[in-house]
Amino acid sequence: MKILVVSQYYFPENFRINDLCKGLVERGHEVTVYTGLPNYPEGKLFQGYSFKGPYTEEIDGIKVIRVPLITRGAKKSFRLALNYLSYFVSATVLAPFLVKGEFDKIFVFAPSPITVAIPALFLKFLKRAPVFLWVQDLWPESLEATGVVRNKFILDKVGFGVKLLYKLTDKILLPSKAFIKNVKDLGAKDSQIVYFAQWSESLFSNSPEESSAIDPLIPKDGFKITFAGNIGTSQDFETIVKTAEILRNHKNIIFLILGNGLMRGWAESEVKRLGIEDTFIFLGSKPLEMMPYYYSKSDVMLLSLKDTPLFAVTVPAKFQSYLASGKPILASVSGEVARIVNEYNVGISVPAGNANLLAEAVLKLKNSSPETLRQMASNAKICHEENFERETQIDLLEKIMETTKFS
């Protein structure tokens, strides 16, 4: 098949869509990606990119077409809204001129903002190809959950817009079964909805290769709890930092923070104010291929989300990587992820937003026997294989695409 992928984010930005595109090419499909200039998560263009381009390139056998956009900036502000707006406007207006030729299918990778579906639906009618929308964040719920929009009138209007997008979409792919009710509430039909889980890149499932890399910021000793991913408002760093403060007298408990994002500045300032820099260490963003090295230095992987109805039904992409790496998981979440953690006994889950319970869980894991931790790690791999295996999911996508026609 000739597949057009529409996504605001693509390599060198680190999102699961990169691996999906590679997987489709591995199976003989011709993939073209229609995306923006890379600037996530730091809010500035990656090295090698500027507003002069490159706007067309080939990456791993995939043609990549880029459009100009306003970068996210370093702080959460009106600039982020301009970033969202600029991509879908540029991508829609420039589509007839940049996206040439025929395509059999159009696949949309839709974390926030859901507006990425707009240029894809325009191209649907231009190319007469069905659209497959892989919803990562529910809108308008995510706007309310992150505090970006609180006005009910505006949220209702956004909800109406999303309802229209769903109506025009041929298939709506959901990474969490708990999303189904929310999507149906906005008018999606059972015939449109498909459960399509995320997975981890294969490098997390393999045993970490011997690496000559040594990060001097990682202490040799201590019980290491690693958070990996975006440091944003959704990840509830207030609770993580508060937990570290509660445990400040346990000098052998170390929090390692891999990643970057809008809340990093606040978190660093708060850690410094509390005087816990020796046990709460920011490692920064690292290349994907280096992540198994950092995971291997960790005793437990930490996942946290704010206590909102939206995040209770969300399964973040990092969860699959944590499972595949075979590490016990410490989860400060409510809802779907908590259910999986408890059902498969892959670690300990506590309700979102409760620093005291999270601190208790840290101590419980630290004091667990090596055999208990090994069993949790083994369970994590089993959970990943049974629910989030890459080839099984891509098989499913191929079958759905082959049987769905333009309508």
Is residue 57 predicted with pLDDT exceeding 70? yes
What is the structure's pLDDT at 211? 55
What DSSP character marks residue 219?
-
Provide the CATH number for the domain around residue 264. Answer: 3.40.50.2000
296 and 313 inside one domain: yes
Q: What average pLDDT is seen over the chain?
A: 94
Per-residue pLDDT tens over the stretch 124-160: 999 999 999 999 999 999 888 877 788 899 999 999 9
Distance CA 77, CA 137 (A): 19
Nearest-Å Rg of the Cα atoms of the chain is: 21
Residues 188 and 247 in one domain: no
Q: For the chain, how many structural domains are there in total?
A: 2
* 221 in the same domain as 347: yes
Same domain, 216 and 191: no
Q: H or E segment at 281?
A: strand 280-284
110 and 6 in a common domain: yes
Mean pLDDT in residue range 242-258? 96
What's the rounded mean pLDDT across residues 244-264?
95
Contacts 24+ apart (CB under 8 A), 174-180: 174/135, 175/134, 175/135, 175/136, 175/315, 175/317, 176/313, 176/314, 176/315, 176/336, 177/336, 178/312, 178/313, 178/314, 178/315, 178/335, 178/336, 179/135, 179/138, 179/313, 179/314
pLDDT band at residue 195 under the 50/70/90 scheme: very high
Tokens standing for residue 150 = 């609180």
pLDDT at 335: 92
- Whether 223 and 271 map to the same domain: the answer is yes
Give 129's strand partners: none
Measure the CA–CA gap between 31 and 34, rounded to whole angstroms: 10
Do 38 and 166 belong to one domain? Answer: yes
Domain span at 10: 2-199+389-403
pLDDT in tens, 345-390: 999 999 999 999 999 999 999 999 999 999 999 999 999 999 999 9
In this predicted structure, the answer to whether residue 76 has a pLDDT above a threshold of 70 is: no
pLDDT at 259 over 80: yes
Asked if 162 and 88 sit in the same domain, the reply is yes
Question: Is the per-residue pLDDT at 74 higher than 80?
Answer: no
| Confidence tier at 206 by pLDDT (50, 70, 90) | low
Range 102-119 average pLDDT: 96
- Asked whether residue 213 carries a pLDDT value surpassing 80, the answer given is no
pLDDT by residue (tens digit) across 281-334?
Answer: 999 999 888 999 999 999 999 999 999 998 999 999 899 999 999 999 999 999
143 and 254 part of one domain: no
Asked if residues 76 and 237 have their Cβ atoms less than 8 Å apart, the reply is: no
pLDDT of residue 396: 96
How, if at all, do strands 253-258 and 280-284 pair? parallel
Residue 210 has pLDDT above 60, yes or no: no
pLDDT at 214: 84
**Segment (H or E) for 225:** strand 223-228
Separation of first and last alpha carbons in the chain: 18
Please give the full DSSP string across 373-393, using - where no structure is assigned. HHHHHHHHHHHHHHH--HHHH
Same domain (yes/no): 188, 209: no
Looking at the fold, whether 297 and 222 belong to one and the same domain comes out as yes
Q: Are residues 226 and 162 in the same domain?
A: no
- Helix (H) / strand (E) element for 81: namely helix 78-98
Q: What percent of the chain has pLDDT over 90?
A: 86
pLDDT given at position 317: 87
Please give the torsion angle defined by the CA atoms of residues 105, 174, 205 and 332, in that order, rounded to the nearest 10 degrees: 150
Q: Are strands 56-59 and 62-67 parallel, antiparallel or unpaired?
A: antiparallel
Strand order in the sheet with 62-67: 56-59, 62-67, 30-36, 2-6, 105-110, 131-135, 171-174, 193-195
What is residue 355's predicted lDDT score, i.e. its pLDDT?
A: 98
